[in-house]
Chains A and B, each alone.
Chain A
Amino acid sequence: MSSPTPQYGPMFDTDELVINMGPQHPSTHGVLRVVLRLDGEKVVDADVVIGYLHRGVEKLSESRSWAQIVLLTDRLDYVSAATSNVGYCETVEKLMAIEVPRRAKYLRVILSELQRIASHLLWLGTHAMDTGAMTVFLYAFRERELILDLFEEYCGARLTYNSMRIGGLPQDLPPSWDRKVLEFCRIMEGKLEEYETLLTGNRIWLERTKGVGVIDGAEALALGLSGPPLRGSGVRRDVRKDEPYAAYDEMEFDVPLGVAGDTFDRYVVRMQEFRQSIRIIRQAMQGIPEGPILGKVPRLIKPPAGEVYHAIESPKGELGFFIVSDGKSMSPYRFRVRPPSFCNLQALPRLVKGHLIADVVALIGSLDVVLGEVDR
């Protein structure tokens, strides 16, 4: 096995400086460590070191019952727990061939999209903060707070929701919750204008994002990017459209695409996704059918032996669950998460090469990684 530690040259050689960005660094969104080889301020090479937050969720799940795993999925991408919940529950439902009631499907769409907005708000705030626009950060968190309030009212938790059950949802909507959601959508649309005023037309923001970390569609596909980073490169790939799950096949929405594949396009794609999410929430709210929220689920969840892979579109990208059941025990034989952040982060060394340190920070922000999911 080759040594991971790069050869540390003399501190001030006339050409290169090796510097550790992280694991304690304000812009690495957790405990990411990037070993940068610098020529002046220019990044010659980068090595991403992860695993500081590895909790062994996959291993742990092999000794937890099927229902208990839902709350482990909360802790994967802890800023969008609801989508992880949806992904896991749908995978088990696929394995067990459980029919989920339509109302539950609609509710899952609503919660997923609210969660997407919340996650994108966190991305927007930290991304802007990383490039020095600190007001946007607080504005974004102000609106995220509204979503957290909605979730709190729905399931009692603000971050790790445990908001899905295999076969449906734990509870129906609280009274007048739907009105609040629509009210939130109205507020959010106005606030989006505010963010765009602060950033989209801002010359400094354009200079900081345009042409930074350019990656074309083919290379983005090859590097395994998914979600907004892939769509920013102009590849039309959205699990919600390609392999519809929950009630997305009944929703009407566009998949925003970028052109240049730079940081700005990834930004624009996510800003558009805010609007699309709002559109989906409105449709789902309008079309939500009455009915049960939990399908016919056996008392004892014990799926048949077999393997299943199911992917959903989490705010970060394609979140896949690969689950193997041996049909005998009470827990999965193998539980594998295909974390979008992990695969997106893989492209970071390629993206930062030749850019400056400040761009490294902007690029980590534009990939929108959550280390809880990267390290699992």
Chain B
Amino acid sequence: MITPTHYLLLSMALFTIGLAGVMTRRNIIIVFMSIELMLNAVNINLVAYSAQVQNLVGQVFAIFVIAVAAAEAAVGLGILLAFYRNKETVNIDEINLMKW
């Protein structure tokens, strides 16, 4: 029998992997992707509990999360492109100035 705890553990593991990616990778695009993984971990939780408690609000929230993720990806990648044009790097360690 699969309980919500299973889903919780899965989501947790996914979240941790994403977090590890954010912390260890220096390529900002991969960092962004790791953040997407973490958002997905949250979504799994929301949907799993929504199914458990028979309340669809969790799914509605998951949709909002996806919308926010889309916005985040668009703006984040836009910033990245603008940055790359000026500095020719995607290394997060070199992105250390508030302006250039």
Q: Write the residues of chain A forming the contact surface with B, with a CB cutoff of 8 angstroms.
A: 14
Contact = CB atoms under 8 A, between A and B. Distances in A.
Contacts of A14: 81, 84-85
Interface in B66-82: 81
A227 B84 CA distance: 49
B85 to A, nearest CB: 5
3 contacts: A14-B81, A14-B84, A14-B85
A90 to B, nearest CB: 61
Interface in B47-100: 81, 84-85
B89 to A, nearest CB: 13
Contacts of B81: 14
A14 B89 CA distance: 12
Contacts of B85: 14
A14 B85 CA distance: 7
A39 to B, nearest CB: 14
A14 B83 CA distance: 12
Q: Which 3 residue pairs spanning A and B have beta carbons closest together?
A: A14-B85, A14-B84, A14-B81
A14 B86 CA distance: 10
Interface string B21-57: 0000000000000000000000000000000000000
A14 B84 CA distance: 9
Nearest to A15: B85
Nearest to A14: B85
A281 B31 CA distance: 74
A346 to B, nearest CB: 36
A198 to B, nearest CB: 43
Contacts of B84: 14
A356 B11 CA distance: 48
Nearest to A10: B88
A14 B81 CA distance: 9
B40 to A, nearest CB: 29
A129 to B, nearest CB: 38
A32 to B, nearest CB: 35
Nearest to B81: A14
Nearest to B85: A14
Nearest to B84: A14
B74 to A, nearest CB: 18
A16 to B, nearest CB: 13
B3 to A, nearest CB: 49
B82 to A, nearest CB: 10
A79 B11 CA distance: 70
A14 B88 CA distance: 10
A274 to B, nearest CB: 51
A218 to B, nearest CB: 41
Nearest to B86: A14
A33 B81 CA distance: 33
